[in-house]
Amino acid sequence: MEGSLVFGLFTALFAVGAAIVAGVKRIAHSIRDIFREQVVRTMDKTIDVVLGEIEGNREEIRNLNERVLELEAKSHRDGTLRISEQEELEYLRSERIGKMQKWGQSNVERLALVTSEVARESVLITPDKLHIADGYVGFASLNRKCKVCQRLLTLRRNTQEVRSLSSFFWGCPAFFENETLSHKYSEAFQMSDLSVFVDKSIEDWNVNDDELNAVVELGKRSVQKRVSQVVSHKIDQIICGTHAEPLVLKEKREPTGLLDQYFLRCARPSCEYKVKIASVGQLSTLLAETQGRGLL
């Protein structure tokens, strides 16, 4: 899907942002060079090879999840598992984290291979452009891991407080799990997270929060119309923090407004993992990702 090619950088974004910040201290490298440096060892691959690896990895994750869910259901039903089964479950869960990272790495490779065709640039997230950070809420980090369970952290925002740079944080997906597995681990959003690599041909990233909000306010109907076309679709680039499978876009029955109307959830029925679409930045991402064009 073209939208994914244009906008698929999300999982890798913050890792690349950090590299750009580091790169400033070196001799004048172009951003593209820094991006390519990240994956220089894999540049002998072709795009088809990388796409094949992504598909293969996704298939492995699906199979792995089938077995994990089987064991979890057995544990739930019988109240216990045999030692060998417990060990298998632990092993499969850690394998899944590895495959998730592999998926993120493959995405960087894929984007490095297509990046010469699109206008990617680094932008700085400033207090008047928080919609850019909003746009990545729900995305997994490539390199930040939970110190408790080793899973990749995902970007979240505290919706209880007034939106500012400090309301963003990296949280462990275990937050959404059942009581036995659940824990709260988080890390602050840092300076190195503020420089992100975006496709400047997506107009939304060039305007400030007020401008984007005003546009959405005026064109609510058309936004709803566009988003409704992808309700029930799997959104390839936003994966469940537990199952590592793409999330599905859902619509609420009685929303209080546009920013309460949609959410993403895991396709596995037993999973509680959810990402609310509660900002115009997320709507931008969703549309850019699925339709190749943001809100503007």
19 binds Zn ion (CB under 5 A): no
268 binds Zn ion (CB under 5 A): yes
Closest CA to 198 of 247, 240, 139: 139
- Residue 61 or 146: the one with the smaller Cβ distance to Zn ion is 146
- The tokens for 70 are 């089987």
- Residue 169 or 185: the one with the smaller Cβ distance to Zn ion is 185
Task: Read off the amino acid at residue 285.
Answer: T
- H or E stretch covering 88: helix 83-114
271 binds Zn ion (CB under 5 A): yes
Contacting residue, 174, 227, 247, 288, with Zn ion by CB under 5 A: 174
Piece of 44-52, 66-74, 94-102, 141-149 that binds Zn ion (CB under 5 A): 141-149
- Residue 125 or 152: the one with the smaller Cβ distance to Zn ion is 152
Closest CA to 181 of 84, 272, 66: 272
Piece of 111-119, 137-145, 203-211, 240-248 that binds Zn ion (CB under 5 A): 240-248
Residue 189 in contact with residue 144, Cβ under 8 Å? no
243 binds Zn ion (CB under 5 A): yes
Piece of 23-31, 144-152, 156-164, 231-239 that binds Zn ion (CB under 5 A): 144-152
Number of residues that bind Zn ion (CB under 5 A): 13
Contacting residue, 101, 154, 195, 242, with Zn ion by CB under 5 A: 242
- Residue 147 or 221: the one with the smaller Cβ distance to Zn ion is 147
Sign, CA torsion 100/139/241/18: positive
- Residue 72 or 88: the one with the smaller Cβ distance to Zn ion is 72
Q: Tell me the closest approach of the beta carbon of residue 63 to Zn ion, in angstroms.
A: 15
Closest CA to 225 of 265, 267, 278, 262: 262
Residue 129 in contact with residue 209, Cβ under 8 Å? yes
Q: Got the DSSP string for 94-148?
A: HHHHHHHHHHHHHHHHHHHHHGGGS-EEEEE--TT-HHHHHTTTTPEEEEEE-TT
- Residue 120 or 243: the one with the smaller Cβ distance to Zn ion is 243
Q: Are strands 262-265 and 120-124 parallel, antiparallel or unpaired?
A: unpaired
Contacting residue, 266, 277, 286, 287, with Zn ion by CB under 5 A: 266
Closest CA to 285 of 63, 4, 2: 4
Closest CA to 178 of 249, 75, 82: 75
Sign, CA torsion 58/61/65/66: positive
- Residue 144 or 157: the one with the smaller Cβ distance to Zn ion is 144
Q: Which of residues 176-205 bind Zn ion (CB under 5 A)?
A: 185
Contacting residue, 69, 149, 215, 296, with Zn ion by CB under 5 A: 149
Q: Tell me the closest approach of the beta carbon of residue 104 to Zn ion, in angstroms.
A: 17
238 binds Zn ion (CB under 5 A): no
- Which residues contact Zn ion (rule: CB under 5 A)? 146, 148-149, 172, 174, 185, 240, 242-243, 266, 268, 271, 273
